[in-house]
Amino acid sequence: MTMQVQHESTENLISKLALMQQEISELRIAKIALDAQTQMLEKLIEMAETPELEHVLKVTLEQVVDISIQVTGAESSYLVLLNENGVIKDKIFKHLYLDLLEQQSLIHRVLEQVYFSWVANNRVVTAIPDTLEDKSLKVLPDFPQFVRSVLSVPIFKRGQLLGVLTLMHSQPEFFNAASVSMMQMMAKQIALAIEYARFYGQLETYSQALKLDLEQGRQIQQNFLPQPLPGLTGWEFASFFQPARQLGGDFYDTFLLPNGSIGLVIGDVCDKGVGAALFMGLFRSLLRIFSEQTSSNANISPTQAVMLTNNYIAQNHSELCMFATIFFGVLDPTTGLLTYVNAGHEPPIILRSSGVKERLNPTGPCVGPVYNVNFQEQQVQLKAGDIILGYSDGVPDARSPQGDFFTERRLLSLLEEPALSPMDLIDRIKKQLEFHVSEADPFDDITILAVQQLAPLS
């Protein structure tokens, strides 16, 4: 009885040891697969940090082949990527000893014919112990003598055959159940790595197309900005425009009105980028159109133009919640009288030749959010030597690398010394802004418009 118990105990121990050995083997396989996946992940991260987009897919394929040889001990490996019609798009072959003639014989005569169809139908990782003796795979063409053992790894993504990885060895029965288990674990990771590399490569194409579109948009936006006004003796105009991105929401305009007056506009559409740039063009066009519609032989009403622009935006685009702050002035160049509406914009500064500074404060809310609001109209008389300086909030809000604002106080300090011309004044501000911002990314669009009456009116 005691001997029987001992015998059963020994059998249980042997059974447990066998189970433990199997678990250890499975853990070993899992660790090898995990290490391989980690290598692929590290390589992908490395490529993301220092991308050479045109080589991403090629590098990924090479890495998959190298790691597969490393973890299985294969002598050669052939990886192909297929399109949705099963046609080979990309491929890479890696071998340890085959000469060129043997490679070509293996690739073209064997692997790229019936074999790939068999893999697609088989759909699972399969070890072919001996290509010369395996009678169950009669659909396969004869493999050459130097390929006796094959590990077939179909790579699927969402049910579609993405590619085929074929691992080969000259020794029969080289690949075993452990090799199959390992490559089963790796197949999904390989599919993810290849798909990522494909998308990453396509990113460059999309990126270049987007850059081209944005550059065209930038050129169009630059073309929206006004050309110098001809034949205005006694007046000088200067401007500076720098979008935070390729496209900006700031805008300025100077244009001649039917009665000989000059329209002066500086505005800032909420937000930045493409959406703001589109509305920038819309606000600019509406102001010009409505200015001419409200004109008479005697005067132009900036109030009516701003009100009509506001109502159009509020009525037709309220769901987009877009608005703009706008200063719109109508200047009579013969008298120097400026009639203006300040719709929530940064107050322009009048630098009197006497040194006195005046602010043209808001006379109404921003344009666009609410239908049929009231905008008040004000007037100011410009004299010889006076400069009117308008700007967007991108000037005081410009940030240094440490996040410090440029501030309005610093802007005002730059206005203490007399300016030789509007351009001289803008250059002074621009240089200080560049010094303050330094290497920091632009925080907001920057727009500056300066107008000066040069000589006494006759």
For the record, the structure tokens of 227 come out as 């050309």
Instruction: Determine the Cα–Cα distance for residues 296 and 68; give it in Å rounded to an integer.
Output: 82
pLDDT at 130 over 60: yes
CA distances from 395 to 63, 67, 127, 248, 371 (A): 50, 55, 69, 14, 30
All CATH 3.30.450.40 domain ranges of the chain, comma separated, are: 23-203
For the stretch 88-110, pLDDT in tens is 788 888 776 666 666 666 666 55
Q: Is the predicted pLDDT of residue 247 greater than 70, yes or no?
A: no
Exposure on the CB side of residue 296, measured as CA atoms within 13 A: 5
Give Cα 390 distance to the centre of its chain. Answer: 32
Read off the pLDDT of residues 62-88 as tens digits, 9 standing for 90 and up.
Answer: 888 888 888 888 888 888 888 877 777
169-203: per-residue pLDDT in tens? 889 899 988 888 888 888 887 887 777 766 765 66
- For the ranges 65-69, 151-155, 354-358, 390-394, the one whose mean pLDDT is highest: 390-394
Note the pLDDT of residue 358. 94
Distance CA 259, CA 257 (A): 6
Cα separation, 240 vs 9, in Å, equals 92
417: exposed, middle or buried (C-beta count within 10 Å: 0-12, 13-18, 19+)? exposed
pLDDT over 90, % of the chain: 32
Please tell me the CATH superfamily of domain 23-203, with its number: GAF domain (3.30.450.40)
Q: Give the pLDDT mean for 225-236.
A: 72
Tell whether the torsion through CA atoms of 428, 432, 438 and 443 is positive or negative. Answer: negative
Q: Which helix (H) or strand (E) holds 25?
A: helix 2-49
Q: Residue 292: enclosing H or E segment and its boundaries?
A: helix 273-293
Mean pLDDT, all residues of the chain: 79
Alpha helices in 50-115 (DSSP H): 56-72, 100-104
Per-residue pLDDT tens over the stretch 134-162: 765 555 556 666 778 889 899 888 888 88
**Closest residue by Cα to residue 280 from 258, 304, 309:** 309
Amino acid at the residue 250:
D
CB-side neighbour CA atoms (13 Å) of 188: 6
pLDDT score of 436 more than 70: yes
Q: Please tell me what DSSP assigns to residue 413.
A: H
Is pLDDT above 80 for 277? no
Tokens 């632009």 sit at which residue? 442
Higher pLDDT, 385 or 212: 385
Taking residues 31-55, what's their average pLDDT? 52
- Beta carbons within 8 Å of 130's beta carbon, 6+ residues apart: 148, 149, 172, 173
Q: Which is more confident, 114 or 60?
A: 60
Give the Cα separation of 207 and 225 in Å (integer). Answer: 27
pLDDT at residue 377 in the model: 95
**Quick check: 280 pLDDT over 80?**
yes
The whole-number average pLDDT for the span 423-434 is: 95
Fold of the domain spanning 225-453: Phosphatase 2c; domain 1 (3.60.40)
User: Averaged over 32-48, what is the pLDDT?
Assistant: 52
Q: How far apart are CA 395 and CA 408, in angstroms?
A: 8
Banded model confidence at residue 3, pLDDT cuts 50, 70, 90: low
Other CB atoms within 10 A of residue 116 CB:
20
pLDDT reading at 286 higher than 80: yes
- pLDDT of res. 297: 47
How many CB atoms are located within 10 Å of the residue 17 CB?
Answer: 10
pLDDT band at 401 (very low <50, low <70, confident <90, very high): very high
Q: List all residues 6 or more positions away from 420 whose beta carbon is below 8 Å from its beta carbon.
A: none
Quick: pLDDT tens for 306-317. 999 999 999 999
Tell me what pLDDT residue 178 has. Answer: 82
Band (pLDDT 50/70/90 cuts) for residue 339 is very high
CA dist., res. 65 & res. 96, Å (int): 12
Return the structure tokens found at 99. Answer: 């000469």
From-to residues of CATH 3.60.40.10 in the chain: 225-453
pLDDT of amino acid 383: 92
Phi-psi category of 273—alpha, beta or left, where left has phi over 0 and alpha has psi -120 to 50?
left
Please state which of the ranges 99-103, 281-285, 340-344, 420-424 shows the lowest mean pLDDT. Answer: 99-103
Tell how far CA 14 is from the center of its chain.
61
Q: For residue 89, what pLDDT is reported? A: 80
